[in-house]
C-alpha cells in the first residue's frame, strides 16, 4: 500500500500507524483556530514578499487562496480530516490543492512551533476582549440590582451568622469591586499575551531576513518576542489566562452560593424568575436555582483546567514538546464555560425578585445592633473593651 505523504515524511520508510494518527491528531479541537492560522499565514506571506522570497504576484495569489479557504471553512464546506494532524497542516494541504507547489513556499522560515504559538496568542487576545465586555455586562447587572434596591436593608453575615445590618446595594457592590479587579487582571494578561512569536522557527530563529515588526504590525501586536526558545516553549500566557479565569469563577461561585442560600425557603430573601429556574421531575412544588448551582459547580471545572496545564508544563525541557498540545482543550473549555456563565448571569440577576420585607425582618432578630450599642458607650467615655463586654452581657441577658 502506498504511504500517505505527510509534510515531514521525507526521512520515514513506514506509514504512520492508524492508531498513532488518531492519537497524535489535534484537528478535532484546534480547528477553531483557523481564522488566526489564516491571518498569521497571510502576514507571513507578506513577510516573505518583503524578504524577496516570494514575488508580489505569488504573495497575492497565496493570500487570495487563503481567503478562499477561510470562506470554505466558514460555510461548512471544508472537511477536516484526522490525517491532516492539525489545523496548520489542514490549511496548508488545502492551499497546495488550490495553487499547487506555490503553496509549499508559504512554510519557508517558519515552524508549526512558532505558528501555533502565534495562533494561540491571537486567539487569547480576541477572547480576552470579549470576556472583558461580558464582565462589563455582569457588572452592569450588579449595579442594576443595587440601584433598584438602594434602600433595602438585610443582615450582613460573618461565619454565616447575622452580624450587622447593611444595605443590599452595599452587599451587591462588593461583587462589583471583585469583578472590576477581574477586568483589570484580564487587561494585564492581555498585555503579556500581546507579543508576536512568528520568526522564532522551531526553536533557533530563521535564517531568512524576515521583517518581524512588519508581521507584528499587520497582526496588531504591540511588540515581538525577544528569545526564540522562549517564544515556542512557554505557555505562561495560557496559564495566566486560566489563573484569571479561575479567580473570576471564585467570585461567580461565591455570588452563586449566596443567591442559592437566599433563595431557600429558610431565607426567602430572593426568588429567581421562572425563566431562570428549573423544576423537579418528581416533586411538583419545587423551584430549583439550577443556573446558580451550575455556576457554582463549573468553578471546579475551570480550576481543574488550570491545574491540568500547570501539570503539563511543569517538567518540560526547552524547547517545544508534544505535551504542549494538551494546552488547548483546557483553555478552550474554560473559555467556553466562562463565556456561557457571563452571558446567562446578567439577565438572571436583573429578573430576580428581591423580598425586601423578609430581609428587613431578618435584621430585627439576632441583636444586630449590639456593636452600635458598644459604640454608643464608647462615645460616652467607656473604653471599647469594656463597652464590648457590657454589650455582650446585655445580649446574654
Report the catalytic residues: 159, 280
Can you read off the three cell numbers belonging to residue 169? 446595594
User: Do residues 348 and 276 lie in contact, with contact meaning Cβ atoms separated by under 8 Å?
Assistant: yes
Closest residue by Cα to residue 191 from 234, 250, 251, 236? 236
Distance CA 80, CA 365 (A): 65
- Termini Cα distance of the chain: 93
Distance CA 209, CA 205 (A): 11
Closest residue by Cα to residue 324 from 127, 131, 112? 112
Which region holds residue 274: left if phi is over 0, alpha if psi is between -120 and 50, else beta? alpha
- Where do runs of H (alpha helix) occur along 100-227? 102-105, 112-148, 168-193, 212-219
Q: 91-119 burial string, b = 16+ CB within 10 Å, else e?
A: bbbbbbebbeebbebbbbbbbbbbbbbbb
Closest residue by Cα to residue 124 from 353, 327, 341? 327
Distance CA 125, CA 114 (A): 17
The half-sphere exposure of 364 on its side-chain side, counting CA atoms within 13 A, is 5
DSSP string over 119-136: HHHHHHHHHHHHHHHHHH
User: Do residues 40 and 219 lie in contact, with contact meaning Cβ atoms separated by under 8 Å?
Assistant: yes
Closest residue by Cα to residue 25 from 67, 109, 94, 83? 83
Amino acid at each position: 500500500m502506498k504511504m500517505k505523504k505527510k509534510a515531514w515524511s521525507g526521512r520515514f520508510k513506514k506509514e504512520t500507524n492508524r492508531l498513532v494518527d488518531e492519537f497524535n491528531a489535534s484537528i478535532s479541537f484546534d480547528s477553531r483556530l483557523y481564522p488566526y492560522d489564516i491571518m498569521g499565514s497571510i502576514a507571513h506571506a507578506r513577510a516573505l514578499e518583503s524578504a524577496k522570497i516570494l514575488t508580489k504576484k505569488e504573495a497575492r495569489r497565496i493570500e487570495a487562496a487563503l481567503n478562499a479557504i477561510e470562506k470554505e471553512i466558514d460555510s461548512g464546506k471544508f472537511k477536516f480530516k484526522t490525517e491532516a494532524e492539525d489545523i496548520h497542516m489542514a490549511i496548508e494541504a488545502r492551499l497546495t490543492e488550490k495553487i499547487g507547489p506555490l503553496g509549499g513556499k508559504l512554510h519557508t522560515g517558519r515552524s508549526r512551533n512558532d505558528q501555533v504559538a502565534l495562533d494561540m496568542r491571537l486567539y487569547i487576545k480576541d477572547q480576552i476582549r470579549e470576556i472583558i465586555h461580558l464582565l462589563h455586562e455582569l457588572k452592569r447587572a450588579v449595579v442594576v440590582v443595587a440601584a433598584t434596591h438602594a434602600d433595602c436593608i438585610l443582615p450582613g453575615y460573618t461565619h454565616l451568622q447575622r452580624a450587622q445590618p447593611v444595605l443590599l446595594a452595599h452587599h451587591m457592590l462588593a461583587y462589583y469591586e471583585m469583578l472590576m479587579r477581574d477586568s483589570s487582571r484580564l487587561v494585564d494578561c492581555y498585555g503579556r499575551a500581546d507579543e508576536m512569536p512568528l520568526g522564532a522557527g522551531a526553536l533557533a530563529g530563521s535564517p531568512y531576513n524576515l521583517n518581524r515588526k512588519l508581521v507584528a504590525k499587520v497582526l496588531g501586536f504591540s511588540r515581538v518576542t525577544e528569545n526564540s526558545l522562549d517564544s515556542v516553549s512557554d505557555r505562561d500566557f495560557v496559564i495566566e489566562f486560566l489563573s484569571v479565569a479561575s479567580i473570576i469563577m471564585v467570585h461567580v461561585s461565591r455570588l452563586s452560593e449566596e443567591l442559592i442560600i437566599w433563595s431557600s425557603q429558610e431565607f426567602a430573601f430572593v426568588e429567581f424568575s421562572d425563566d431562570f429556574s428549573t423544576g423537579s421531575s418528581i416533586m411538583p412544588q419545587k423551584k430549583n436555582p439550577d443556573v446558580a448551582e451550575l455556576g457554582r459547580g463549573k468553578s471546579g471545572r475551570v480550576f481543574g483546567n488550570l491545574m491540568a496545564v500547570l501539570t503539563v508544563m511543569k517538567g518540560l525541557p526547552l524547547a517545544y514538546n508534544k505535551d504542549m498540545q494538551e494546552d488547548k482543550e483546557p483553555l478552550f473549555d474554560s473559555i467556553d464555560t466562562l463565556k456561557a456563565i457571563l452571558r446567562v448571569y446578567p439577565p438572571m440577576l436583573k429578573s430576580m425578585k428581591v423580598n425586601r420585607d423578609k430581609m428587613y425582618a431578618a435584621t430585627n432578630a439576632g441583636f444586630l445592633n449590639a456593636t452600635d450599642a458598644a459604640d454608643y458607650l464608647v462615645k460616652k467615655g467607656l473604653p471599647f473593651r469594656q463597652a464590648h463586654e457590657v454589650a455582650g452581657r446585655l445580649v446574654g441577658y
